[in-house]
Each structure stands twice: as C-alpha cells, then as structure tokens.
Structure 1
Amino acid sequence: MDLHQHVDGYCERLDPSFWSEPINAITNAAFLIAAIYMWRRSEGLFLAKLLCIVLFAIGVGSFLFHTFAQTWAGIADVLPIILYILVYIFAATRDFWNQRAWIAGFAVVLFFPYAALLSPLFAQIPGFESSSAYGPVPLLIFTYAFGLRNRAPETAKGLAIGASIVCLSLFFRSIDEPLCNVLPFGTHFLWHILNGIALGWMIEVYRRHMLARPTKLG
C-alpha cells in the first residue's frame, strides 16, 4: 500500500493541491464545534467524554483527508469514525439496556460481521455504492431505538432522530459525484455538517439517558 498515493474521490477536488477542497476542509469544523460543546455538557460521564474526544479526532482526520488527500490521511479519516461507532455500541448496550460490560463488549465484536454482511447489500442500492459501508450504522441505531421504545421512550426517540439525520447526511454524501456537473463544489460538505450535528446529538442522547438514571455511571 502506498500511503502517499493521491486520492481524488470528491467533486470539489480538481487537483492534488492542499486547498483544492476548501469547503470540504473547512466544514470539518462542525465536528470540532460539536465535540467541544458536548465536552462541556458531559461532566462526570466518562464514555460521553471519550466520545467527544473521538468526535474531535473525526474532525481532524477528515480535515487531513480533504487537504492532503493521500492514503494515510484517508486512514486518519476512517479510523476515528469506526472507533466512535464501537464506543457508542458499547455505551448503548451497557447503559441503555443495563447489560454487563462483557456483553457490551461482545456487541462491539458482533458489529464487524454485521457490517460485513450488510454493506454489500447496501451497495446494491443504485447511487448508494460510495456510501454503502456506512449504511448498516443508521439501521443499527433505528434497531436500538425500536427495541427501546417501551423501556426508554425518550432515549428511543432521540436515537431515531439521530439515525434520521445520519440518513440525510448519507444522502448528500452519495449524490456528491453524480451531481458534480450541476454543483461544481459538490454536496460532501453537507455530510460533514449534518454528521457533526448527528454525532453530537448522539452524545446528548446518551448524556440525557444517563442523567435520568437513579445511579449515574460513567
């Protein structure tokens, strides 16, 4: 693998230069703002704080990818996203469902075969090929929301809202290249903005759930 190989996967990028994707690069501030805002609201909640740190890393990694646009930067972009998903699965399984830590850890492990099985199916959706790897995520969130509808209705509602925002962000991510002739600057920047909102909101959902519990755990 050539870690310095140039990557050109977005409508806005016209050449390999650092600022060839100014809108895509700058809108990563949405992740940073959401992370800082939620950090201040998550006092005493270890996993919420950890999610804030990872969310900040998502913004940094995505900025690197949309400026350097090389393989190593792509890795820096993707890894924090995966880590955020895994931490949230652990937190949601342990604290929304009141499960032991080992069961929550097992749920984290199960995400890998789950995503590997469903991603190819999402790739069969016309126009969704470029975003198919992310498709299993909102589906999983909706599944948790449905399962919690009676046990924790407010949390379930919050999860459903978060999943809906993620779906909208995936829509804009998917139409970036197809609409390139119509919108030269693309639509990928809306993926950043909406995802920043969605991931910050998901931390807020977790925070509210934890504060509503008789015993507050990290």
Structure 2
Amino acid sequence: MALCLFVVTIANSLAAQQSGRALFNGKDLAGWQQIGPGSFVVQDGMMKTQGGMGMLWYAQEKIAHATIRVVFRLATRKSDSGVFIRIPEKPTEPWMPINRGYEVEIGDWPDDFSCTGVLYTFTKALARPIKPIGEWNTMDITIDGPRTIVYLNAIKVTDFTEGQAVPAKLPGSHDPDRGPRPDSGFIGLQNHPGSEVYFREVSVVPLSP
C-alpha cells in the first residue's frame, strides 16, 4: 500500500509539472517586451538571444508563490544569460532588474557564485549539474514568499531565504546591489552581447495554498 501511495504521489507531481501555464507560446513573443540593446527572435519554436545587453520581460503579470520552469541550452561555452525574478516594477532599462531583482544565472562559468542556477553573486552553488554544451537543461525556480529554491536537471543548486548572509558587493564591480527583494515581481530573460542561448519553454505552476 505504501508503495502504491508513493507511486500515486509521484504521478500527481509529474502531472502538476506538465500542467504548467506556458508564458512562451512557441510562435511569437506575445506578452513579452524587450528593454535595452539586442533582442530575442523566435526560431523553430524556440526563443534565441541576439546581441545585448538587454532583457526580455514578461509584462502580463507579476509572479509569486509559484514555480517557474525554464528549458534552455547553451550554444557555446561563452553563452551567457539569466532568468530575472522578483523585479519590483515594470523595468525601463536593463540594469534595474539586476540591481532590484535577482538573476538566476545561466552560464557555464567556473566560479561557484556565478554558475548556472545560483542567484548571481549572492549564493554559492550547492551542485553543478549543468549538461554538456548543446544539450537541453531544465531549471525549476520556486518563489515561495521570501524563499527562492532552484533545481537544475532535478538537482538542487540554490536554497535562499531573504535575510541570510550574502557576500558583500565588490567595490567598483558590476555586481548587483545588495538589499531585500519583494515576494512578488516580474520575470525576464537576459540577452548578452556575443552570446547565444536558446529557450524552448518558459512556464509557471502555482504552488499549493
């Protein structure tokens, strides 16, 4: 009986993941807006970064108490992007989300504070489960009040709650400003100059009450 209940629980969990509401329709950028240099283009059912540095943000709603699923792949080892979360208000330029939201990093970098799945320069990676260049990765970002949890390919990389100690911002650096972020905010995808990253899914699943 216990085994049966376990199987049913797993099945229900998978069904919930599969019923996520798509924020990218695979055809165009409806619902999204670009700020800053560069752009995103839709190609073969995927979004592709082009130039930068800018951001494509989802303008229809703020997101909170939910899991955001992003399926992406890097074109080269220099590919660089990120998923912005907790952006407090509609952005008008690309540095505002960096300094007032969090960037969940996408990039195959050696530093544990700037590799895929961390809150860029805020948290140290708990693991580095990114797949080889060119393969698809699945990142699940859960926003639960002041807590942010990130899984990459089903392995936890980040578990951070507002108020935890973080490294100081390096003087003269382009690191994000420190300080609290809101429980609810807009989300966005970063496009970096000289970099190509492909996205085939961006979806959201509300957390249980």
Q: TM-score range by the shorter chain?
A: under 0.3
Q: Which has the higher helix share?
A: 1
Question: Normalised by the size of structure 1, how large is the TM-score?
Answer: 0.25
Question: Normalised by the size of structure 2, how large is the TM-score?
Answer: 0.26
Max Rg structure: 1
